[in-house]
Amino acid sequence: MKKKIISMLMIMTMAAACFAGCGGKKAVDNGAGADTAADGKIYKVGIIQYVDDASLNQIVDNLEKELDAIAEEKGVTFNYKDYYYNGQADSTTINQIVTELINDEVDVLVPIATPTAMICQSATEDNQIPVIFAAVSDPEGAGLVASNDAPGANITGTSDALNTEAILDLMMEQDRDLQKVGLLYDKSQDASTAPIKAAKAYLENAGIEVVEKTGTTNDEVMLAADALCAEKVGAVFTPTDNTIMTAELAIYEKFIDAGIPHYCGADSFALNGAYLGYGVNYATLGVETAKMVAEVLVDGKEPASLAVKTLDNGTATVNTETAAALDLDYEKLRDMCDGFVEIQTSKEFE
């Protein structure tokens, strides 16, 4: 399905005109179209993707595939094609999208990534539409749930929580003489707050100098990467940060040229040129999110009865092209991981 990217102009004219996105038409309830079915009940599934990047694309693709499989098995229909949007990391746009979906009376909201989930939470305080989020790194820290085992009344989902210590163990094993590490992240991303705090504590305890650089746009991230290269750090760590993920294709060659391996909190970073990504399988995350959607809509379970799902995040993904360019032997890391994947640079997962 070609993805619909909603511009601000489109959002402003939604109420005045029949909306047509870049990837399809908005649903029109004419009593016989997408919202009717002869074989079984149709559920409207509103999917709001925070931004277009390889990790989140994997989640959406596998979420949709699993919804289709469940629909065939259970004799129902999940209509997500008419209710999918990409907010392009713009909070005003995402707020407008969520309002539109609520007006469309969707049966569930599925926000992808922490900022989108927080907007959905706020928008459903009064109407209590079920919210099943995906890829929220710290649901409790973001205030989405009281705890992973005790979700909010109408909200739960899947988490891509990162084992920061494990990825830094890999970094230390790769270079036992490491003296200075760069931390590259977007300080406005809630997903980065806890792992950056954990990384600073780990590195400082190990007697390693820490250099922090941040950015909120591609241009700022590129400048931050240049600054880390100028600082001659021995390695760079980035958690599950969507801003840096979006910019990875623009910065990975800078790090290669400077001889700096980039360790990141998702496999998609490695696909986009970083030396190593470590974390959850985002395809599996999409599948598990779809299962939770079905539990709420088809099985009638309350979101509050479903604990947040946190996946095993013990898989390392190494970019073999980048490893060769950096002259790094990654084989010694293999036994430290539950899973080990070798890939080469591409624009995104197929």
**Total number of domains constituting the chain:** 2
Residue 313 in contact with residue 162, Cβ under 8 Å? yes
Q: Tell me, yes or no, whether 32 and 123 share the same domain.
A: yes
Residue 174 and residue 114 in one domain: no
Identity of the residue numbered 270:
A
66 falls within a domain: yes
Residue 69 has phi, psi (to 5 degrees) of -65, -45
Domain contains 3: no
In a domain, 127, yes or no: yes
> 253: exposed, middle or buried (C-beta count within 10 Å: 0-12, 13-18, 19+)?
middle
**Could you tell me if 132 and 267 lie in one domain?**
no
Find the mean pLDDT for residues 279-286: 92
Place of tokens 């209509």: 79
Verify that 271 and 193 share a domain, yes or no.
Answer: yes
113 and 15 housed in the same domain = yes
- The whole domain housing 190 covers 164-279+314-343
52-83, pLDDT tens digit by residue? 988 899 999 999 999 999 999 999 999 999 99
**DSSP 8-state code for residue 297:** H
Kindly state whether residue 144 falls inside one of the protein's structural domains.
yes
Together in a domain, 65 and 148: yes
- Residue 2 domain-assigned (yes or no): no
Task: Based on the fold, state whether residues 156 and 125 are members of the same structural domain.
Answer: yes
Same domain (yes/no): 107, 188: no
350 part of a folded domain: no
- Segment 146-177, tens digit of pLDDT: 988 888 899 999 999 999 999 999 999 999 99
**Rounded Cα gap, residues 28 and 7, in angstroms:** 20
Residue 349, domain member (yes or no): no
Q: 300 with 213, same domain?
A: no
pLDDT for 341: 94
pLDDT at 10: 42
Are 195 and 144 members of one domain?
Answer: no
Lowest model confidence (mean pLDDT) among 70-84, 207-221, 286-300, 334-348 = 334-348
Q: Identify whether 55 is part of a domain.
A: yes
CATH of residue 264's domain is 3.40.50.2300
CA–CA gap between residue 241 and residue 337 (Å, rounded):
22
pTM for the whole thing? 0.80
What are the CA-CA distances from residue 238 to residues 13, 126, 218, 220, 276 (Å)? 38, 37, 15, 15, 10
Return d(Cα 321, Cα 20) in angstroms, integer. 41
When pLDDT is averaged across residues 176-204 and rounded to a whole number, the result is 96
- What are the C-alpha distances in Å from 199 to residues 51, 164, 250, 322? 25, 6, 24, 23
Both 156 and 301 in a single domain?
yes
If asked whether residues 71 and 208 sit together in one domain, one would say no
